[in-house]
Structure 1
Amino acid sequence: MRLRDALDDHKRNRDHPTRFPGERRTTAGLFSGAAGRLVHVAPDGTVRDYGYPLSGLSGVADSRVALRLDDPPAELDWDAEGVRPAADDAAVVSFEAGEQSYHGATALVETTFETPVGGVTRFDLTVDTDAGAAHVTRVAFDDPSRASEAGAALLVGCTFAPEGRDARVGQLHHDDAVEVFHDRERDFLAGDAGLDVLGGGLPAAPEAVLSPEPHEADATSLGDRREEDHLGGDVVAAVPAVDGVATAATLLSEREDADREASLAALDDLFAVVDTADSLVDLAQSTDAAVSLPDGVARAAAAVDDLRVLSLLSAPTGMRIAGPDFDPHYVHSGGYGYTWFRDDAEVSGFLLGADGRFDLGIEEWHRRSARAYLDTQLPDGTWPHRVWPRNGALAPGWANARMEALEDVEYQADQTASVAAFLARFLAGLDDDDPMVDEVTAALDDALDGMVDSLADDGRPVACQNAWEDGVGRFAHTAARFLDAFSAIAALGPERFERAVEATDRAALLYDALDDLWVADRGVFAVSELGDGSLDARLDSATFALADAHRAYAAIGEIDETRRNRLVEHLDATIDGLYHDPADSDVEGLVRYEGDAWRQRGQGHEKIWTVSTAWGANAAGELAALLADEDDARADEFAARASDLLDLVGPEGPLTVAGGYQPEQFFDDGTADSATPLGWPHAIRLATTALLDDHDALASEQTERLRADD
Structure 2
Amino acid sequence: MRLRDALDDYKRHRDHPTRFPGERRTTAGLFSGTAGRLVHVSPHGSVRDYGYPLSGRSGIADSRVALRLDDPPADLDWGDGSVRHADGDGAIVRFDAGDQTYRGATALVETTYETPVGGVTRLDATVDTDGGAAHLTRVAFDDPGRAADAGASLLVGCTFAPEGRDARVGQLRHDGAVEVFHDRERDFIAGAEGLDVHGGGLPASPAAVLGEEPHADDAETLGDRREEDHLGGDVVAGVPVVDGAATVATLLTDREETDRAAALSALDDLFAAVDSEASLAALAADSDGAVSVPDGVARRDAAVDDLRVLSLLSAPTGLRIAGPDFDPHYVHSGGYGYTWFRDDAEISGFLLDADGRSDLGLEGWHRRSARAYLDTQLPDGTWPHRVWPRDGALAPGWANARLEASDDVEYQADQTASVAAFLARVLDGLDDDDPLADELAAALEDALDGMVDSLADDGRPVACQNAWEDASGRFAHTAARFLDALSAIAALGPERFERAVEATDRAALLYDAIDDLWVPERGVYAVNELADGSLDGRLDSATFALADAHRTYATIGEIGETRRNRLVEHLDATIDGLYHDPADGAVEGLIRYEGDAWRQRDQGHEKIWTVSTAWGANAAAELSALLADEGDARADEFGARARDLLALVGPDGPLTVPGGYQPEQFFDDGTPDSATPLGWPHAIRLATTALLDERGALDVEADGERVHADD
SS in 2 for 1:658: coil
Q: Which amino acid aligns with 1:127?
A: V
CA displacement at 1:292 relative to structure 2: 3.0
Partner of 1:45: 45
Give identity over the alignment, percent: 83
Provide the C-alpha distance between the structure 1 equivalents of 2:385 and 2:496, rounded to a whole number of angstroms.
30
Contact 2:126 2:287 in 1 (8 A): no
Contact 2:204 2:220 in 1 (8 A): no
Provide the C-alpha distance between the structure 1 equivalents of 2:219 and 2:460, rounded to a whole number of angstroms.
62
Q: Given the superposition, is the C-alpha separation of residues 597 and 502 from structure 1 closer, same or farther in structure 2, using an over 3 Å criterion? A: same
Contact 2:580 2:588 in 1 (8 A): yes
CA displacement at 1:484 relative to structure 2: 0.2
Provide the C-alpha distance between the structure 1 equivalents of 2:624 and 2:78, rounded to a whole number of angstroms.
63
Q: Given the superposition, is the C-alpha separation of residues 663 and 415 from structure 1 closer, same or farther in structure 2, using an over 3 Å criterion? A: same
Partner of 2:301: 301
Provide the C-alpha distance between the structure 2 equivalents of 1:697 and 1:296, rounded to a whole number of angstroms.
16
Q: Given the superposition, is the C-alpha separation of residues 309 and 3 from structure 1 closer, same or farther in structure 2, using an over 3 Å criterion? A: same
Partner of 1:213: 213
Provide the C-alpha distance between the structure 1 equivalents of 2:155 and 2:258, rounded to a whole number of angstroms.
28
Provide the C-alpha distance between the structure 2 equivalents of 1:67 and 1:223, rounded to a whole number of angstroms.
26
Deviates more, 1:187-196 or 1:401-410: 401-410
CA displacement at 1:220 relative to structure 2: 7.8
SS in 1 for 2:659: helix
CA displacement at 1:219 relative to structure 2: 5.8
Q: Which amino acid aligns with 1:674?
A: S
Partner of 1:607: 607
Partner of 2:175: 175
What TM-score, normalized by structure 1, do the two folds share?
A: 0.98
Provide the C-alpha distance between the structure 2 equivalents of 1:614 and 1:86, rounded to a whole number of angstroms.
51
Provide the C-alpha distance between the structure 2 equivalents of 1:408 and 1:570, rounded to a whole number of angstroms.
28
Partner of 1:581: 581
Contact 2:172 2:230 in 1 (8 A): yes
Contact 1:199 1:222 in 2 (8 A): no
Provide the C-alpha distance between the structure 2 equivalents of 1:281 and 1:681, rounded to a whole number of angstroms.
29
Contact 1:199 1:220 in 2 (8 A): no
SS in 2 for 1:432: coil
Q: Given the superposition, is the C-alpha separation of residues 254 and 698 from structure 1 closer, same or farther in structure 2, using an over 3 Å criterion? A: closer
Runs of 4+ in 1 over 4 A off after TM superposition: 697-700
1:290 has 2:301 as partner: no
Partner of 2:141: 141
Provide the C-alpha distance between the structure 2 equivalents of 1:321 and 1:297, rounded to a whole number of angstroms.
26
Partner of 2:162: 162
Task: Provide Cα deviations, 1:342-368, integer angstroms capped at 9, x if missing partner.
Answer: 000000000111111111112111111
SS in 1 for 2:193: coil
Provide the C-alpha distance between the structure 1 equivalents of 2:515 and 2:221, rounded to a whole number of angstroms.
72
CA displacement at 1:481 relative to structure 2: 0.1
Provide the C-alpha distance between the structure 1 equivalents of 2:675 and 2:378, rounded to a whole number of angstroms.
29
Task: Provide Cα deviations, 1:49-83, integer angstroms capped at 9, x if missing partner.
Answer: 00000000000000111001111111112223210
CA displacement at 1:223 relative to structure 2: 5.2
Cα RMSD, aligned residues only: 1.4
Q: Given the superposition, is the C-alpha separation of residues 634 and 408 from structure 1 closer, same or farther in structure 2, using an over 3 Å criterion? A: closer
Contact 1:293 1:358 in 2 (8 A): no
Partner of 2:528: 528
Partner of 2:248: 248
Number of aligned positions between the proteins: 703
SS in 2 for 1:67: strand
Partner of 2:709: none
CA displacement at 1:222 relative to structure 2: 2.7
Deviates more, 1:427-436 or 1:648-657: 427-436
Partner of 1:129: 129
Partner of 2:116: 116
Task: Provide Cα deviations, 1:673-703, integer angstroms capped at 9, x if missing partner.
Answer: 0000001111111111111111117999xx9
Contact 2:62 2:160 in 1 (8 A): yes
Contact 2:197 2:235 in 1 (8 A): yes
Contact 2:169 2:232 in 1 (8 A): yes
CA displacement at 1:217 relative to structure 2: 2.8
Provide the C-alpha distance between the structure 1 equivalents of 2:72 and 2:61, rounded to a whole number of angstroms.
31
Contact 2:586 2:670 in 1 (8 A): yes
Task: Provide Cα deviations, 1:62-110, integer angstroms capped at 9, x if missing partner.
Answer: 0111001111111112223210011122210000000000011110000
Q: Which amino acid aligns with 1:644?
A: D
Partner of 1:647: 647
Task: Provide Cα deviations, 1:278-331, integer angstroms capped at 9, x if missing partner.
Answer: 111111111222123222333221111000000000000000000000000000
Q: Given the superposition, is the C-alpha separation of residues 39 and 301 from structure 1 closer, same or farther in structure 2, using an over 3 Å criterion? A: same
Within a 5 Å distance, the mapping from 1:689-708 to structure 2 comes to: 689-696=689-696
Q: Given the superposition, is the C-alpha separation of residues 266 and 221 from structure 1 closer, same or farther in structure 2, using an over 3 Å criterion? A: farther
Partner of 2:441: 441
Contact 2:203 2:219 in 1 (8 A): no
Partner of 1:203: 203
Partner of 1:487: 487
Provide the C-alpha distance between the structure 1 equivalents of 2:486 and 2:37, rounded to a whole number of angstroms.
37
Provide the C-alpha distance between the structure 2 equivalents of 1:220 and 1:508, rounded to a whole number of angstroms.
68
Provide the C-alpha distance between the structure 2 equivalents of 1:573 and 1:672, rounded to a whole number of angstroms.
27
Q: Which amino acid aligns with 1:95?
A: F
Within a 5 Å distance, the mapping from 1:50-129 to structure 2 comes to: 50-129=50-129
Partner of 1:310: 310
Within a 5 Å distance, the mapping from 1:132-531 to structure 2 comes to: 132-218=132-218, 222=222, 224-531=224-531
Task: Provide Cα deviations, 1:527-553, integer angstroms capped at 9, x if missing partner.
Answer: 010000000000000000000000000
Which blocks of at least 5 consecutive residues in structure 2 are unaligned?
707-711
Partner of 1:708: none
CA displacement at 1:582 relative to structure 2: 0.2
Q: Which amino acid aligns with 1:449?
A: D
What TM-score, normalized by structure 2, do the two folds share?
A: 0.97
Contact 2:197 2:238 in 1 (8 A): yes
